[in-house]
């Protein structure tokens, strides 16, 4: 395999492939969703949290952050983890073992993402390297010592050393157990979900975030003592009371290794190897020179709808249309992936504009070219939105305009393209996230494959949280008939679908019961509405 394009083509869904697929789930071999570093002391993060009552709309954009004046403490870190990566609830069903939900969504609720916290100057917590043990809301102390300055230098940091660096790793096997070779796509999407979750929780605490995706993978893996584990570092988030700054041209290689634990729990009795995943991920680890100010490929970003005669009409996304939002902390903790929608609820026009504004909000990452167009173009199948004609639309996230491409009922189409899942047609609207595929790969090399999925996952989490804040629900859909989506949308070959999404009003299964996330944590979340 020479190009990530080969992996993408090989893992496309088609009706023929699905009919021939004989894969069955080996429930006895399902990977453990909770990673533990077995020989590490655990530090309880406690049950006292800082207040983040602000509405989602006031913290989603980095332009709206009100910086905190207080130092970052262990309580701050506990709050950050609790509202970004923790368990949100346990669910029970008659005859089935209880299962956990988390505040950050994941494909199939399998959660391949592992969270590591590198601490520089947090009050009441020794400097060092920690693993976040989700099940106990605890930190496992992998290494003692102030490793953050050197890590920050290795990542290209130029500002003062940030107080916290969060590392997001992925365990591919957790997804491959169910989704086989296509699982790498979902692991990358989940990184987008996670980075959005951490970012919004940090903003709610008055903290700035810089997303860092451009680094030398194997060097970082060896330096952090992860090279003998099944975890692959994919993204880092520098978090501080001031905006962290990195120089993507700066590459500092460290040949040493921190003295950290690698004694991890075994997730399954056996792990099935998927060579396509191994080969594809290896391609995305290739080094690249920063494409800062590189614009010669920008023509590849022109969406089809801008061509003459394609657009029927357009309207501007209104900044003044507001909604009554649930508080941020309630929104985060009550986000769920809907299983069924009622097929009746009409979304208000104010809520629709609110969600579109969230999709248009920028974010800071070291790999993004300043003022470059987005890597993802949302195409919308509008079913039931007040004051919006049924039909197919395209959202220009730069101009914040919505373009009507085709009038008519899109419910059957949205359902069929999403593997005949009713949830795509019973919603208020569904979305195809289309990537600027050629632009991303021509600009960033094979590594661009990660970035388009990160951005799609980021947008998915924005819709998850926005829908919840508005009293609605959402669900990400990773299963779709790739090339049939392209045929229907009439997208050019240089654009590829990477994610589907749908927003509506869920129907609850009354046979499923909800239990608290943690026995020792009761923060009166139900009283925050």
Can you give the pLDDT at residue 370?
79
Can you give the pLDDT at residue 312?
80
Can you give the pLDDT at residue 65?
75
Task: Give 113's contacts (C-beta < 8 A, 6+ positions apart).
Answer: 85, 104, 106, 168, 169, 170, 171, 187, 190, 191, 194
Helix (H), strand (E) at residue 194: helix 183-204
Cβ distance 134 to 42 under 8 Å? Answer: no
The first and second tokens of residue 110, run together, are: 């399998």
Can you give the pLDDT at residue 39?
92
Can you give the pLDDT at residue 475?
97
Set out the domains of the chain in order of their start, with CATH numbers: 4-9+40-284 (3.40.109.10), 298-504 (3.40.109.10)
Positions of E strands within 72-172: 87-93, 96-102, 113-119, 128-133, 138-144, 164-170
Helix axis angle for 448-469 and 437-444, nearest 10°, is: 130
Gap between the Cα atoms of 135 and 100, Å rounded: 9
Gap between the Cα atoms of 232 and 172, Å rounded: 8
Can you give the pLDDT at residue 89?
96
- The residues facing 144 across adjacent strands are 128
Gap between the Cα atoms of 433 and 10, Å rounded: 19
Strands 376-382 and 429-435: antiparallel
pLDDT digits (tens), the chain, 529 positions: 889 999 999 999 999 999 988 899 999 999 999 999 999 999 999 888 998 878 898 887 766 677 888 999 999 999 999 999 999 999 999 988 999 999 999 999 999 999 999 999 999 999 999 999 999 999 999 999 999 999 999 999 998 999 999 999 999 999 999 999 999 999 999 999 999 999 999 999 999 999 999 899 999 999 999 988 999 999 999 999 999 988 866 666 777 888 888 899 999 999 999 999 999 999 999 865 454 434 444 444 445 455 545 778 888 998 888 899 999 999 999 999 999 999 999 999 999 999 999 999 888 899 888 777 899 999 999 999 999 999 999 999 999 999 999 999 999 999 999 999 999 999 999 999 999 999 999 999 999 999 999 999 999 999 999 999 999 999 999 999 999 999 999 998 889 999 999 999 999 998 999 999 998 887 655 444 4
């Amino acid at each position: 395999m020479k190009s990530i394009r080969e992996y993408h083509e090989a893992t496309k869904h088609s009706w023929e492939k699905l009919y021939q697929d004989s894969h069955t789930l080996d429930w006895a071999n399902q990977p453990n969703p909770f990673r533990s570093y077995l020989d590490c002391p655990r530090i309880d993060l406690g049950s006292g949290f800082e207040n983040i009552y602000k509405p989602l709309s006031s913290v989603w954009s980095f332009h709206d952050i009100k910086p905190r004046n207080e130092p970052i403490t262990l309580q701050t870190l506990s709050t950050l983890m609790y509202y970004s990566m923790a368990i949100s609830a346990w669910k029970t069903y008659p005859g089935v073992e209880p299962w956990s939900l988390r505040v950050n969504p994941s494909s199939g609720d399998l959660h391949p993402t592992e969270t590591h916290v590198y601490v520089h100057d947090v009050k009441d917590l020794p400097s060092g390297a920690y693993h976040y043990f989700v099940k106990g809301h605890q930190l496992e102390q992998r290494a003692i010592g102030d490793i953050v300055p050197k890590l920050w230098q290795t990542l290209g940091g130029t500002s003062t050393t940030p107080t916290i660096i969060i590392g997001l790793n992925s365990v591919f096997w957790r997804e491959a157990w169910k989704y086989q070779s296509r699982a790498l796509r979902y692991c990358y999407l989940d990184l987008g979900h996670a980075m959005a979750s951490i970012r919004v929780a940090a903003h709610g605490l008055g903290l700035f975030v810089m997303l860092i995706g451009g680094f030398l993978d194997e060097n970082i893996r060896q330096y952090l003592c992860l090279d003998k584990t099944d975890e692959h570092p994919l993204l880092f988030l520098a978090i501080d009371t001031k905006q962290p700054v990195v120089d993507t041209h700066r590459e500092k290689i460290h040949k040493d290794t921190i003295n950290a634990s690698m004694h991890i729990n075994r997730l399954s009795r056996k792990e099935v190897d998927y060579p396509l995943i191994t080969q594809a991920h290896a391609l995305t680890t290739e080094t690249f020179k920063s494409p800062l100010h590189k614009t010669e490929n920008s023509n590849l970003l022109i969406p089809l709808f801008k061509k003459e005669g394609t657009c029927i009409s357009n309207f501007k996304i209104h900044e003044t249309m507001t909604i009554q939002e649930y508080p941020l902390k309630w929104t985060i903790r009550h986000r769920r992936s809907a299983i069924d929608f009622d097929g009746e609820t009409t979304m208000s026009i104010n809520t629709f504009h609110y969600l579109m504004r969230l999709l248009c909000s920028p974010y800071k990452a070291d790999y993004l070219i300043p003022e470059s167009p987005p890597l993802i173009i949302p195409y919308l199948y509008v079913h039931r939105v007040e004051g919006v004609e049924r039909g197919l639309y395209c959202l220009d996230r730069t101009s914040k305009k919505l373009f009507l491409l085709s009038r008519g009922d899109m419910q059957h189409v949205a359902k069929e393209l999403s593997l005949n899942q009713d949830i795509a047609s019973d919603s208020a609207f569904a979305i195809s996230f289309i990537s600027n595929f050629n632009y991303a790969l021509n600009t960033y090399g094979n590594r661009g494959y990660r970035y388009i999925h990160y951005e799609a996952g980021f947008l998915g989490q924005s819709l998850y949280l926005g829908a919840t804040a508005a009293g609605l629900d959402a669900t990400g859909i990773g299963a779709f008939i790739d090339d049939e989506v392209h045929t229907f949308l009439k997208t050019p070959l240089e654009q590829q679908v990477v994610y589907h999404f749908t927003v509506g009003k869920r129907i609850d299964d009354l046979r499923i019961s909800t239990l608290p996330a943690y026995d020792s944590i009761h923060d009166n979340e139900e009283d925050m509405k």
